[in-house]
Amino acid sequence: MATPDFTPNEMMTIAAARALKNDDVCFVGIGAPSAACNVARLTHAPDITLIYESGTIGTRPDVLPLSIGDGELCETALTTVSVPEMFRYWLQGGRISIGFLGAAQLDRFGNINTTVIGPYDKPKVRLPGGGGAPEIATSCQEVFITLKQAKRSMVEKIDFYTSFGHGEGGDHRRRLGITTKGPTRLITDLAIWLPDPETKEFTVVSLHPGVSRDMVQETCGWTVRFAESLEETPPPTELELGTLRDLQARTEKAHGGSKTKSAAPAGASAGA
Protein backbone atom coordinates (compact mmCIF):
# COMPACT_ATOMS: atom_id res chain seq x y z
CA MET A 1 0.00 0.00 0.00
CA ALA A 2 1.40 3.37 -1.03
CA THR A 3 2.27 5.88 1.67
CA PRO A 4 -0.08 8.89 1.47
CA ASP A 5 1.41 12.27 0.65
CA PHE A 6 1.72 14.61 3.62
CA THR A 7 3.13 17.99 4.54
CA PRO A 8 5.86 18.69 7.12
CA ASN A 9 3.25 20.27 9.43
CA GLU A 10 1.04 17.19 9.14
CA MET A 11 4.02 14.98 9.99
CA MET A 12 4.80 17.16 13.02
CA THR A 13 1.23 17.04 14.30
CA ILE A 14 0.90 13.29 13.86
CA ALA A 15 4.32 12.58 15.42
CA ALA A 16 3.24 14.65 18.40
CA ALA A 17 -0.07 12.80 18.64
CA ARG A 18 1.73 9.46 18.75
CA ALA A 19 3.65 10.51 21.87
CA LEU A 20 0.43 10.68 23.90
CA LYS A 21 -1.00 7.71 25.81
CA ASN A 22 -4.56 6.67 26.54
CA ASP A 23 -4.21 7.33 30.28
CA ASP A 24 -2.59 10.77 29.96
CA VAL A 25 -4.09 13.87 31.50
CA CYS A 26 -2.97 16.57 29.11
CA PHE A 27 -2.94 20.36 29.47
CA VAL A 28 -3.50 21.43 25.87
CA GLY A 29 -2.13 24.46 24.04
CA ILE A 30 -4.00 26.12 21.19
CA GLY A 31 -2.67 25.47 17.67
CA ALA A 32 -0.57 22.42 16.83
CA PRO A 33 -0.76 21.01 20.39
CA SER A 34 -4.57 21.06 20.22
CA ALA A 35 -4.56 19.36 16.83
CA ALA A 36 -2.12 16.69 18.04
CA CYS A 37 -4.04 15.98 21.23
CA ASN A 38 -7.33 15.61 19.41
CA VAL A 39 -5.84 13.38 16.71
CA ALA A 40 -4.56 11.15 19.52
CA ARG A 41 -8.04 11.14 21.10
CA LEU A 42 -9.68 10.23 17.80
CA THR A 43 -7.22 7.40 17.01
CA HIS A 44 -5.15 5.45 19.54
CA ALA A 45 -6.00 7.27 22.81
CA PRO A 46 -9.81 7.54 23.07
CA ASP A 47 -9.76 7.85 26.86
CA ILE A 48 -7.15 10.63 27.10
CA THR A 49 -8.26 13.50 29.35
CA LEU A 50 -7.83 16.87 27.64
CA ILE A 51 -7.75 20.00 29.79
CA TYR A 52 -7.74 23.55 28.46
CA GLU A 53 -6.66 26.62 30.40
CA SER A 54 -10.17 28.09 30.58
CA GLY A 55 -11.12 25.31 33.01
CA THR A 56 -12.66 22.68 30.72
CA ILE A 57 -11.88 19.11 31.80
CA GLY A 58 -12.34 16.01 29.66
CA THR A 59 -13.32 18.06 26.63
CA ARG A 60 -13.95 16.24 23.35
CA PRO A 61 -14.28 18.92 20.67
CA ASP A 62 -15.62 18.01 17.25
CA VAL A 63 -13.76 20.98 15.77
CA LEU A 64 -10.54 22.65 16.87
CA PRO A 65 -10.97 25.67 19.15
CA LEU A 66 -9.78 29.07 17.97
CA SER A 67 -8.94 30.05 21.54
CA ILE A 68 -9.25 28.74 25.09
CA GLY A 69 -12.55 30.65 25.30
CA ASP A 70 -14.13 28.79 22.36
CA GLY A 71 -17.61 27.55 23.30
CA GLU A 72 -16.85 24.19 21.70
CA LEU A 73 -14.60 23.35 24.65
CA CYS A 74 -17.18 23.98 27.36
CA GLU A 75 -20.01 22.35 25.42
CA THR A 76 -18.12 19.06 25.01
CA ALA A 77 -16.37 18.94 28.43
CA LEU A 78 -17.23 16.61 31.28
CA THR A 79 -17.09 19.63 33.56
CA THR A 80 -15.81 23.19 33.68
CA VAL A 81 -14.08 24.59 36.75
CA SER A 82 -12.85 28.06 37.62
CA VAL A 83 -9.41 29.11 36.41
CA PRO A 84 -8.07 29.39 40.00
CA GLU A 85 -9.22 25.82 40.68
CA MET A 86 -7.69 24.67 37.40
CA PHE A 87 -4.28 26.04 38.34
CA ARG A 88 -4.22 25.53 42.11
CA TYR A 89 -5.88 22.10 42.37
CA TRP A 90 -5.28 20.40 39.03
CA LEU A 91 -2.03 21.88 37.76
CA GLN A 92 -0.10 22.78 40.91
CA GLY A 93 -1.56 19.72 42.61
CA GLY A 94 0.45 17.50 40.27
CA ARG A 95 -2.60 15.95 38.62
CA ILE A 96 -1.60 16.66 35.00
CA SER A 97 0.84 14.29 33.31
CA ILE A 98 1.60 16.18 30.09
CA GLY A 99 1.77 19.89 29.30
CA PHE A 100 1.79 20.63 25.56
CA LEU A 101 3.34 23.96 24.56
CA GLY A 102 4.46 25.92 21.54
CA ALA A 103 7.13 28.63 21.43
CA ALA A 104 8.19 31.79 19.65
CA GLN A 105 11.81 31.23 20.67
CA LEU A 106 13.38 28.06 22.05
CA ASP A 107 16.94 27.23 23.12
CA ARG A 108 18.76 23.90 23.24
CA PHE A 109 17.65 23.26 26.83
CA GLY A 110 13.94 23.74 26.17
CA ASN A 111 13.61 27.21 27.66
CA ILE A 112 10.75 29.09 25.99
CA ASN A 113 10.26 32.76 25.12
CA THR A 114 6.77 34.01 24.26
CA THR A 115 7.18 37.53 25.70
CA VAL A 116 9.40 39.77 23.54
CA ILE A 117 11.84 39.64 20.66
CA GLY A 118 14.73 41.95 21.43
CA PRO A 119 15.33 43.92 24.66
CA TYR A 120 12.44 43.81 27.12
CA ASP A 121 12.26 47.62 27.54
CA LYS A 122 12.44 48.34 23.80
CA PRO A 123 11.47 45.13 22.02
CA LYS A 124 11.41 44.62 18.28
CA VAL A 125 8.24 42.56 18.71
CA ARG A 126 5.90 42.33 21.69
CA LEU A 127 4.55 38.76 21.86
CA PRO A 128 1.33 37.51 23.51
CA GLY A 129 3.10 36.67 26.76
CA GLY A 130 3.13 33.63 28.99
CA GLY A 131 -0.52 33.02 29.80
CA GLY A 132 -0.44 29.83 31.84
CA ALA A 133 2.68 28.46 30.15
CA PRO A 134 5.18 29.29 32.94
CA GLU A 135 3.09 27.32 35.44
CA ILE A 136 2.51 24.51 32.97
CA ALA A 137 6.27 24.24 32.33
CA THR A 138 7.04 23.76 36.02
CA SER A 139 3.97 21.95 37.38
CA CYS A 140 3.05 19.35 34.73
CA GLN A 141 4.86 16.05 35.24
CA GLU A 142 6.52 16.52 31.84
CA VAL A 143 6.26 18.90 28.88
CA PHE A 144 6.10 18.29 25.12
CA ILE A 145 6.95 21.16 22.74
CA THR A 146 5.94 21.56 19.09
CA LEU A 147 7.74 24.01 16.84
CA LYS A 148 8.31 24.69 13.16
CA GLN A 149 12.07 24.84 12.67
CA ALA A 150 13.69 28.17 11.75
CA LYS A 151 16.83 29.96 12.91
CA ARG A 152 14.76 32.84 14.25
CA SER A 153 12.82 30.49 16.55
CA MET A 154 15.50 27.95 17.50
CA VAL A 155 18.16 30.24 18.93
CA GLU A 156 21.40 30.04 20.86
CA LYS A 157 20.02 32.34 23.55
CA ILE A 158 16.40 33.34 24.00
CA ASP A 159 15.61 37.03 24.53
CA PHE A 160 13.39 36.42 27.55
CA TYR A 161 12.71 33.46 29.86
CA THR A 162 8.93 33.06 29.80
CA SER A 163 8.74 29.34 30.57
CA PHE A 164 11.58 27.52 32.30
CA GLY A 165 12.81 24.36 30.62
CA HIS A 166 16.11 22.90 31.79
CA GLY A 167 17.67 26.31 32.42
CA GLU A 168 21.43 26.02 31.94
CA GLY A 169 21.15 22.25 31.58
CA GLY A 170 22.15 19.39 33.82
CA ASP A 171 20.43 19.45 37.22
CA HIS A 172 19.40 23.11 37.07
CA ARG A 173 15.72 22.29 37.66
CA ARG A 174 16.52 20.19 40.72
CA ARG A 175 18.80 22.88 42.15
CA LEU A 176 15.88 25.31 41.96
CA GLY A 177 13.61 22.89 43.78
CA ILE A 178 11.53 21.98 40.71
CA THR A 179 10.62 18.30 41.01
CA THR A 180 8.88 17.74 37.66
CA LYS A 181 10.71 16.42 34.59
CA GLY A 182 10.40 19.52 32.40
CA PRO A 183 10.62 19.27 28.59
CA THR A 184 10.97 15.62 27.63
CA ARG A 185 10.18 15.81 23.91
CA LEU A 186 10.49 18.36 21.11
CA ILE A 187 8.57 17.61 17.93
CA THR A 188 9.35 19.80 14.94
CA ASP A 189 8.33 19.68 11.30
CA LEU A 190 11.68 17.98 10.55
CA ALA A 191 12.58 15.75 13.48
CA ILE A 192 11.95 14.38 16.96
CA TRP A 193 14.30 15.56 19.70
CA LEU A 194 14.85 14.19 23.21
CA PRO A 195 16.93 15.75 26.01
CA ASP A 196 20.29 14.15 26.77
CA PRO A 197 19.95 12.25 30.09
CA GLU A 198 22.88 14.13 31.64
CA THR A 199 23.23 17.52 29.94
CA LYS A 200 19.51 17.92 29.10
CA GLU A 201 20.45 19.39 25.70
CA PHE A 202 17.90 18.46 23.05
CA THR A 203 19.29 15.79 20.70
CA VAL A 204 17.79 14.62 17.40
CA VAL A 205 16.76 10.97 17.70
CA SER A 206 14.56 10.64 14.62
CA LEU A 207 14.41 12.39 11.24
CA HIS A 208 11.07 12.65 9.45
CA PRO A 209 10.85 10.99 6.01
CA GLY A 210 12.87 12.84 3.38
CA VAL A 211 14.70 15.03 5.93
CA SER A 212 18.50 15.16 6.07
CA ARG A 213 20.86 16.16 8.88
CA ASP A 214 21.81 19.24 6.85
CA MET A 215 18.18 20.35 6.65
CA VAL A 216 17.89 20.17 10.43
CA GLN A 217 21.11 22.10 11.00
CA GLU A 218 20.28 24.77 8.42
CA THR A 219 17.08 25.64 10.30
CA CYS A 220 18.55 25.62 13.81
CA GLY A 221 20.49 28.41 15.52
CA TRP A 222 22.80 26.17 17.53
CA THR A 223 25.10 23.26 16.64
CA VAL A 224 22.77 20.27 16.53
CA ARG A 225 23.57 17.04 18.31
CA PHE A 226 22.41 13.84 16.63
CA ALA A 227 21.91 10.50 18.36
CA GLU A 228 24.41 7.79 17.48
CA SER A 229 21.56 5.55 16.39
CA LEU A 230 19.41 7.90 14.32
CA GLU A 231 15.98 6.62 13.35
CA GLU A 232 13.44 7.63 10.70
CA THR A 233 10.01 8.68 11.88
CA PRO A 234 7.35 6.36 10.46
CA PRO A 235 5.24 8.26 7.91
CA PRO A 236 1.60 9.02 8.70
CA THR A 237 -0.84 6.19 8.19
CA GLU A 238 -4.01 6.67 6.19
CA LEU A 239 -5.99 6.65 9.44
CA GLU A 240 -3.81 9.30 11.09
CA LEU A 241 -3.74 11.57 8.07
CA GLY A 242 -7.43 11.12 7.33
CA THR A 243 -8.33 11.88 10.95
CA LEU A 244 -6.24 15.06 10.98
CA ARG A 245 -7.56 16.31 7.65
CA ASP A 246 -11.17 15.56 8.54
CA LEU A 247 -10.71 17.45 11.82
CA GLN A 248 -9.25 20.43 9.97
CA ALA A 249 -12.02 20.34 7.35
CA ARG A 250 -14.73 20.34 10.05
CA THR A 251 -12.94 23.20 11.78
CA GLU A 252 -12.75 25.29 8.62
CA LYS A 253 -16.41 24.69 7.85
CA ALA A 254 -17.47 25.51 11.42
CA HIS A 255 -15.61 28.78 11.41
CA GLY A 256 -16.97 29.92 8.08
CA GLY A 257 -13.83 29.25 6.10
CA SER A 258 -11.72 31.46 8.36
CA LYS A 259 -8.06 30.62 8.56
CA THR A 260 -7.38 28.41 11.59
CA LYS A 261 -4.14 27.59 13.37
CA SER A 262 -4.81 23.87 13.58
CA ALA A 263 -1.81 22.80 11.50
CA ALA A 264 0.55 25.54 12.59
CA PRO A 265 2.76 25.52 15.65
CA ALA A 266 1.34 27.34 18.63
CA GLY A 267 2.85 30.79 18.87
CA ALA A 268 2.91 31.16 22.59
CA SER A 269 1.35 29.18 25.36
CA ALA A 270 -1.52 26.98 26.26
CA GLY A 271 -3.53 30.15 26.47
CA ALA A 272 -2.27 31.75 23.28
pLDDT for 267: 37
Low-confidence ranges of the chain (pLDDT < 50): 258-272
The amino acid sitting at 86 is M
pLDDT for 4: 72
Q: Which fold has domain 8-254?
A: Glutaconate Coenzyme A-transferase (3.40.1080)
Out of 53, 72, 201, 240, the active site residue is 53
Give the strand pairing for 25-27 and 49-51. Answer: parallel
pTM for the whole structure: 0.90
- 85-132 residue pLDDT tens: 999 999 999 999 999 999 999 999 999 999 999 999 999 999 988 888
| C-alpha–C-alpha distance, residues 110 and 144, integer Å | 10
Per domain, the residue ranges of the chain are 8-254
53 catalytic residue (yes or no): yes
Let me know if 212 is exposed, middle or buried by CB neighbors in 10 A (0-12, 13-18, 19+): exposed
pLDDT for 31: 85
The amino acid sitting at 137 is A
Beta pairing partners, 192:
187, 206
